A = this chain, B = another copy of it.
Amino acid sequence: MREAHKTEATEDYVELIDDLICVNGEARLVDVASRMGVTQPTASKTLARLQRDGYISSEPYRSIFLTPMGKSLADESRLKHEIVFEFLQTIGVSKEAAKRDSEGMEHHVSDETLKAFKKLIRQYKS
């Protein structure tokens, strides 16, 4: 569908996998599925696609790793996510709404918009 649309799942997955590796030391299917709110077979199929497309690597029944490409997409996605999240709170949106909205908006903000967000965050801080 919409250009940005197609990569949304990919972005959310790699970001989550990176997070799990940071926090838990490894990313397991069962945790990916539960955090994404889908069943294990669903997560498993999506991860197969991510592997096919070169974002992750894993052996059968073993935990999941990010490829360099996957890692850089994860970093980029998290950065966007955090900026949008912080921006919304900065302009007065509640943490809960900011959390929900940023989860969707993150996939649609261009670098230009991101820059404007960062600028406003700085302005508010001073």
Contacts and interface: CB of A to CB of B under 8 A. Distances in A.
Interface of A: 1-2, 4-5, 8-9, 88, 91-94, 97-98, 100-101, 103-105, 107-110, 112-113, 116-117, 119-120
Given A2-B8, A9-B1, A108 B101 contact: yes
Contact of A91 (B88, B101, B120): B120
Copy count, this protein chain: 2
A5 B12 CA distance: 14
Contacts of A4: 104
Given A2-B104, A101-B108, 14 more contacts: A1-B8, A2-B8, A4-B104, A5-B104, A88-B113, A91-B116, A93-B113, A93-B116, A101-B109, A101-B113, A103-B108, A104-B107, A105-B105, A105-B109
A92 B104 contact: no
27 contacts: A1-B8, A1-B9, A2-B8, A2-B103, A5-B8, A5-B104, A88-B113, A88-B116, A91-B116, A91-B117, A91-B119, A91-B120, A92-B116, A92-B119, A93-B110, A93-B116, A94-B112, A97-B112, A98-B113, A100-B110, A101-B108, A101-B109, A101-B110, A101-B113, A103-B108, A105-B105, A105-B109
